[in-house]
Each structure stands twice: as C-alpha cells, then as structure tokens.
Chains A and B, each alone.
Chain A
Amino acid sequence: MKERIMKKIDTSKRNFLTGSVTLAGVAAATSVLPISIVNANHKDSSPKGLPDFISWKDRNALIVHSDKGIETHRSAIGESLITPNRNIYIRNNMPTMSDTQIGDRNNWKVSIKGVKNPKTFSLAQLKKLGHTTMATILQCSGNGRGFFAHKVRGSQWKTGAAACVLWTGVPMKLVVDACGGVDKDAVFMTSAGVDHEPTGLDPKKAKVERSVPKKVYKDAMLAWEMNGVPLPNAHGGPLRMVTPGYFGINNVKHLGQVAFTTTESTVKYMKSSYRISPIGKKGSQYPSCWEMPVKSWITRPTDETGTVKSGNVQIVGVAMGGMKKVRSVKVSIDGGQSWKKAKFVGPDLGKYAWRQFVLEANLTPGNYNLASKASGGGKTQPELRMENRRGYAHNGWKDHSVNIKVV
C-alpha cells in the first residue's frame, strides 16, 4: 500500500518534488520536552494589535492569525514587484530574537563546516568577503493551506504567506571558496539558526536546522539587508540564509552555522516537520518542503477590493516559476472555461523573483470568477491542489480564483 502511495506521489509529483526520499525509520520521540518558563520578551499590548516585535509593520495590510503567524492581505502584496517590508508576512517557529539577545550585530558569528578549512566568520568579515543583491520569493510551505478541505493544523494562510524581496549579502559560493571548497562526500547544505537557544528547549525538538541539496549553495546567499534596510530581527536579523526557489523554512533565520553534510539533519524540523505526505500519513520517507512549484494569483480586483465599475478593468497579479523562469500566465474571467494570455509588466528580476502580470478586460455588469494559471519549466499550474496532510505546496489555480461583482 505504501509503495503505491509513494509511487503516486513520486511519479505524479517527482518533477516538482525532487527531494530525496530517505527511508530512515521515524524515531519515536517519547521524551517530554524539558520545559522551562520563559520570560516573554515581546509583550503584546492589545489582543488584535500587532505584537511589539513588528509594531513597525502596517496593521491594515496584515491578517493576524496569531502573534506568531501574520499574513499579508491579498491586495497588499503590492503592484511594483517588491513587497514593502511593512507588509511582509511573519511565520515564527522560534520567537524572534531581541536586540539584547543578538548583541553587537557586526560581531554576529556564523561557523562554516564540511569544507576543506572550516571557519567562523563575523558579520563584519562576511561584509569584506563579497557582495551581491538578489530578488527571490519568500513563501511559506503552508501558503494556501486555508484552501484545503480537510482539517489541517497550522495557520490557515490563503495567498499572503508570500513576498518578493531584494536581499543584499554575500554569495554562499564566495564563502565556500574562502574555506577551500566543499568536502567531496558532502550531499547536503545544512543551515541552523540559533533562535532556539534563548528558549532553553531541547535542540532536537526546537533547533530550526534544515538540509537542502548541496547544489543549492551555488545560488544561495547569506543576507544581511532586506529591501534596502538592515535585515530586521523579525525576518531573521542580523543574518539569514537565502535558498532561492526553496520554501521559506529553508531560508534559515538568525543563522549560526552552515555545514556541508553527508546526511540530512536529524532534528524534528527536518526529520518529521515539513514533510509532504498523503492525508493520514506522516514520516521522513516522504519528500521535504524544498522546491517551490510554478504558481500565480490575482491580487486585484479581488473580493477584498469591493465591487468593480463596468468597462475596462486591469486584472493584476503575480506569477512565479518556482525553480525555473515563469514563461507565461493566462487569465480566465469565467472560472476556467476560457483563458487569455496576460502580459508581463515591469522588470524581470530573475527566475527566483515573481513577475507582475496584467490582463485588460472589458467587463459588463455581472458576477465573474477570475483565475490565473502560470507556466514555466515545462510545467503549468494544475487546476486542483495536491492533497496532503499538512496542506503544503498548494498551487492549484481553482482554489486561488476570486469572485467579483461588476456594476
């Protein structure tokens, strides 16, 4: 039975879920966490207000699921490609580190292992090593979870656990070269954050450590700036790993170590969390949330932006290719019965950023269902979601369609 499901997942999804499937048994974690009372370093003033650690964000642009899960409104993703920092979503596994916990930012340390000459760099040293800027999409694995029909644990994101960001930092390739190159038997690049340390919790359960295929280091970078300002603590400051084309969890925040390893990390955040398994199933034999699929959605007009005046309507949205450049995007105004090719507008910031698209449609009064469907790397968005236990990696176009009323 398992093989059949694996085959179903593998064959139909292999092209997008190219993660290696390690058939390691699932270690039964039976110990209770050594729980210690933690002094809250972020007091939340009003129940539905923004928590202090992101009081600088724009409340109106955001949906507060909780103080650890905050989503960008569909129409607040922005229409000039780059999502403004004050509108960008928050998904915290560990609490955001405070300034006092971080200390002297230029003296922040990251250790590099699994290389010919293992080294520890301070942020100041990294800044002398190299410099680049890259646009990538930051998207939570669970973006779109809110569309799933079965009961799914976790924040019920719709489209807003996603942003397009300009990162500035040093290419990982230069860091590797400065350490004499990667060990030849390494298979993974394994990044670990330090944001679990202040909690005193068991690192096996709390450390956010993620392994990705080694090849990712060629495009990856260590970022200390986000959209032109020093990387905010809430987004992993002062230094985070950026794994272009890979789901958010792999872009490890508050980065303390990068190690080139022969095996995947064995912490919970790698071994059992973020695994794409059939409903009712779980385990590390299933693919991990790695490569993002081709995807698009309309940001205006939507049910959020109210009734639309009849006549010429600009239907605007974002489209991404995942690991490959997005080639085209089609828009339907009749729920997918007919499609028209939309135009890409604005600059092309590279295959890891999304493109802005627009379709001009002349709409007479009535109700419409608007949908968009992107293509890239030989793949096109499917109509339906890929059912899975935790509601990950949703790129089905039907669920992402919107209903509008034209008057």
Chain B
Amino acid sequence: QADSEKMALGLDVYNNKAACGACHILKAAASEGNIGPNLDILKPTEEQVKLIVTEGLGVMPAFGEEGILTSEEIDAVSHYVFTSTNK
C-alpha cells in the first residue's frame, strides 16, 4: 500500500473512527485533546503506538481488543502517528 495511501487512512482513522484528537495533542492533525499524553512530546515508536492502540491503557480504550478498529486501521494510524511525530 503506497505510503501516502497509508498515511491518508491513518489520518482518517485518527480524526474520525478513533477520534484520537479528543484526547491527544498532535500538531500534524491540529488536535488539542488534553487527556492522554501530547504525542509530539511522547514521540512513540510505531510499535509502541500499535501496542497501545490494540490493548489500551488506563482510560484509553483497547481499540484492537474491543474490535473498534481493524488491524489495517491500527497499522495505518500507528504509521501516521509515528511518521507525524518524527519529522
């Protein structure tokens, strides 16, 4: 899947299906949610994002285990968050 396609899907999942912006700050997506860590500071690896999006942590839902996101969507949003915070 071309990288730009994956990034586009990732942004779409970030903004819509998972609504990550409600809880996280990420400059690339212009989101200012203040519940979870500021992703621009956290700078997680792609693997860390995948693990946490799948299994959740504290108030953050387990988007994977609870069947909210497909594995393709998880891969895309993880790639999107990693790439956007490591420019």
Per-position contact with B for A2-42: 1 when CB-CB < 8 Å, else 0?
Answer: 00000000000000000000000000011011011111111
A47 part of interface (Cβ distance < 8 Å)? yes
Cα A85 to Cα B22 in complex, Å, equals 31
**Proximity string of chain A (85-99) to chain B, C-beta cutoff 8 Å, 1 when within and 0 when not:** 000000001110000
Cα distance, A229 to B42, chains bound together (Å): 30
Q: Assess the A153–B38 pair: CB atoms within 8 A.
A: no
**Contact at B35–A38, with CB atoms within 8 Å?**
yes
A269 to B57, CA, bound (A): 10
Chain B residues with CB under 8 Å of A51's CB are: 38
Size band of the interface chain A makes with B: 35 or more
CB distance from A237 to the nearest CB of B (A): 18
Assess the B59–A93 pair: CB atoms within 8 A.
yes
Question: How far is it, in angstroms, between the C-alpha of A14 and the C-alpha of B58 when the chains are bound?
Answer: 26
Interface-central residue, B19, B38, B40, B55, by most chain A CB under 10 Å:
B38
A116 at the interface (CB under 8 A from B): no
Contact A40 B57 (CB under 8 A): no
Q: Are B41 and A48 in contact (CB-based, < 8 A)?
A: yes
- B25, B36, B48, B59: residue with the most chain A Cβ atoms closer than 10 Å: B59
Is there contact, CB below 8 Å, between A201 and B37? no
Report if A119 contacts B (CB, 8 A).
no
CB distance from A196 to the nearest CB of B (A): 8
User: Is A41 in contact with B58, judged by CB distance below 8 angstroms?
Assistant: no
- A193 CB to nearest chain B CB (Å): 12
- Residues A44 and B25 in contact in the complex (CB < 8 Å), given A95-B34, A201-B35: yes
Q: Is B72 an interface residue (CB 8 A)?
A: no
Q: Taking the nearest CB of chain B, how far is it from the CB of A295, in angstroms?
A: 24
User: Roughly how many angstroms separate A39 CA and B38 CA in the complex, as a whole number?
Assistant: 14
B residues near A206, Cβ cutoff 8 Å: 35, 59
Partner of B52 from A47, A153, A273 at Cβ < 8 Å: A153
B41 and A64 contact, CB distance less than 8 A: yes
In the assembled complex, the Cα of A385 lies from the Cα of B41 at a distance in Å of 29
Q: Are B38 and A94 in contact (CB under 8 A)?
A: no
B61 pairs with A205, CB closer than 8 A: yes
Please state if B51 and A30 are interface contacts (CB–CB under 8 Å): no
Tell me, rounded to whole Å, the shortest Cβ–Cβ distance linking B22 to chain A. Answer: 4
Task: Kindly state whether residue A120 has any CB partner on chain B within 8 Å.
Answer: no
Does the CB pair B34–A38 fall under 8 Å? yes
- A153 and B62 CA atoms in complex are apart in Å by 12
**Bound form: Cα–Cα A273–B55 in Å:** 12
The answer to whether A40 and B34 have CB atoms under 8 Å apart is yes
Q: Check if B64 is an interface residue, CB within 8 A of chain A.
A: no
CB neighbours of A273 from chain B (8 A): 58
User: For the complex, is A369 an interface residue (Cβ under 8 Å from B)?
Assistant: no
Q: Cβ of B8 < 8 Å from any Cβ of A?
A: no
B57 engages A153 (CB within 8 Å): yes
Q: Are B41 and A93 in contact (CB under 8 A)?
A: no
Given A47-B40, A69-B37, are A35 and B23 also a contact pair (CB < 8 Å)?
yes
| Chain B residues in 8 Å Cβ range of A48 | 41
Interface string of A182-207 (1 = CB under 8 A from B): 00000000000000100101000110
* B36 adjacent to A68 (CB under 8 Å): yes
B28, CB-defined interface residue at 8 Å:
no
Beyond A44-B25, A68-B37, 20 additional contacts (C-beta under 8 Å) are A29-B61, A32-B66, A33-B59, A38-B33, A39-B34, A40-B34, A41-B34, A44-B38, A47-B41, A65-B42, A66-B41, A67-B41, A69-B37, A93-B58, A95-B35, A151-B51, A153-B55, A154-B57, A199-B35, A268-B58
Offer 26 A-B interface pairs, CB within 8 angstroms, sorted by A. A29-B61, A29-B66, A30-B67, A32-B61, A32-B66, A32-B68, A33-B59, A35-B19, A36-B22, A37-B32, A37-B33, A40-B25, A40-B33, A44-B25, A47-B40, A47-B41, A48-B41, A66-B42, A95-B35, A151-B51, A153-B55, A153-B57, A201-B59, A268-B58, A268-B59, A273-B58
